[in-house]
Amino acid sequence: MFPAEFINEMRDSLGPERAERVLSALAGEPAVSVRVNPRKLTLVALRAHFGTLAGDVVLWASDEAFYLNDRPSFTLDPLFHAGAYYVQEASSMYVGQLFERAKATLGKEALRVLDLCAAPGGKTTQLLSHLDDASLLVANEVVPSRATILAENVARWGCSNVAVTSSDPAAFASFRGFFDIAVVDAPCSGEGMFRKDERAVAEWSPDTVRLCAARQRRILADFWPSLAPGGFLIYSTCTFNRFEDEENVDWIVRELGAACREMRHFYPGEDRGEGFFAALLQKEDGR
Ligand code: SAM
């Protein structure tokens, strides 16, 4: 079912037992999770709304998200259309924790934040829930049709301190040192989404992984001048392989000039969610 090279790579990086556990979880059913919009509803009220469907909290986003015991028809729910919650894959909500860590270290009011690869808006809406009105979020998506969906989701979330743009990452280079925090949730080979997305399995190959890793480096290098010295980058992918994850983090540290403050993988079968990788990096002064 999965490509042989992918299975071998998983065994090499995780060891045979751990790889088997993750691979068999990848053949199972994905979890469904929702994150509340605190400007519109409390977490308690959202749980009450879902009644017996409301399940365990998402451990790394316990003040804003929980699992559902089954997948309801969200499109029939007025609260979904009102932006009272966002249906978001659980592992990726870890970005909220890294964002809080970056905020606490910077200790600054009125942050300028960039979400560079933002559609359809999972991270954008989460970041908005973690920002006050004095801060600004620029949510960018290079593909125009996807930027439209992003803008719709942002409008539903109901915040005024956000601008949606549709530019190539290189367009941000001229905003030298403007952003305090940037999130690059990069386009990737999608290994972590294999159980949700059959197309990701069909399109996977070692060459795709290498192309994705090279594209990620290009995106990172292009926007890098716009991050303030001492500012934070949250780099994430929904893939497992070291080329797009650890090796790209090493490359950011070495070539762009940053210190890696934290890095974490999420694996189906070990964590309740899809495969996800996230790293928190701090840009060196003078770069
Ligand atoms: N952050 C989003 C969320 O939480 O909903 C998911 C982002 S998805 C993993 C990656 C995004 O990068 C896609 O929307 C894709 O269109 C965009 N993308 C593709 N190629 C790109 C490029 N060369 N530069 C910047 N973004 C790109």
Number of domains in the chain: 2
Q: State which ligand 1 atom lies nearest to the alpha carbon of 121.
A: 5
Task: Find out whether 54 and 68 touch, Cβ atoms under 8 Å.
Answer: yes
Domain that includes residue 145, residue range: 91-283
CATH code, domain with 50: 3.30.70.1170
User: How far, in Å, CA of 95 to CA of 31, rounded?
Assistant: 18
Residues 170, 165: Cα–Cα separation, whole Å: 13
User: Do 176 and 207 have their domain in common?
Assistant: yes
Residue count of the chain, please give it.
Answer: 287
Amino acid in the structure at residue 208: T
Instruction: Output the CA angle 162-141-129, nearest 5 degrees.
Output: 35
Final residue belonging to a domain, choices 53, 87, 121: 87
Q: Which of 191, 188, 124 is nearest to 161 (CA)?
A: 124
Contacts of 99 (CB under 8 A, 6+ apart): 126, 127, 130, 181, 183, 234
Active site residue 260: no
Distance in Å, CA 187 to ligand 1 centroid? 5
Q: Which of 117, 159, 212, 238 is catalytic?
A: 238
Q: Please tell me whether residues 95 and 80 are part of one structural domain.
A: no
What's the CATH number where 267 sits? 3.40.50.150
The dihedral sign for the CA sequence 129, 133, 137, 139: positive
Q: 149 in helix, strand or coil?
A: helix
153 and 35, same domain (yes or no): no
Q: Whose CA is nearest to atom 19 of ligand 1?
A: 187
Based on the domain organization, do 24 and 154 belong to the same domain?
A: no
Instruction: Give the CA angle between residues 217, 218, 219 to the nearest 5°.
Output: 90
Q: What is the mean pLDDT of each run of 10 residues along the chain (287 residues)?
A: 94 96 93 98 98 98 98 98 98 98 97 98 98 97 98 97 98 98 98 91 96 98 98 98 98 98 97 97 87
Instruction: Give the N- to C-terminal CA distance of the chain in Å, as an integer.
Output: 45
Distance 285 CA to ligand 1 centre (A): 28
- Residues 132, 77 share a domain: no
Give the separation between CA 105 and CA 89, rounded to whole angstroms: 27
Taking alpha carbons only, the member of 46, 51, 52 closest to residue 87 is 46
Same domain flag for 45 and 185: no
Cα(22) to centroid(ligand 1), Å: 25
Domain-ending residue, one of 35, 60, 87: 87
Tokens of 148: 């439209």
Residue 287's pLDDT is what?
67
Shared domain for 98 and 56, answered yes or no, is: no
Tokens of 193: 């989404």
145 alpha carbon – ligand 1 mean position (Å): 12
> What pLDDT is recorded for position 1?
80
Look at residues 181, 156, 162 and name the one whose alpha carbon lies nearest to residue 39. Answer: 156
Q: DSSP assignment, residue 271?
A: B
CB contact burial 226-242 (16+ within 10 A = b; e otherwise): bbbeebbbbbbbbbbbb
Question: Are 149 and 50 in a shared domain?
Answer: no
Between strands 54-57 and 65-68, the pairing is: antiparallel
Residue whose CB lies within 8 A of the most ligand 1 atoms, among 35, 114, 117, for a mutation test? 117
164 shares a domain with 33: no
**pLDDT value, residue 250:** 98
- Pairing verdict, β 227-237 and 112-115: unpaired
Q: What pLDDT was estimated at residue 19?
A: 97
- Ligand 1: which residues within 6 Å by Cβ? 117-123, 141-143, 146, 169, 185, 187, 215, 219
Shared-domain flag, residues 123 and 11 = no
Whether 154 and 120 have beta carbons less than 8 Å apart is answered as no
Token readout for 97 is 């924790």
| 118 and 245 inside one domain | yes
Residues 76 and 174 in one domain: no
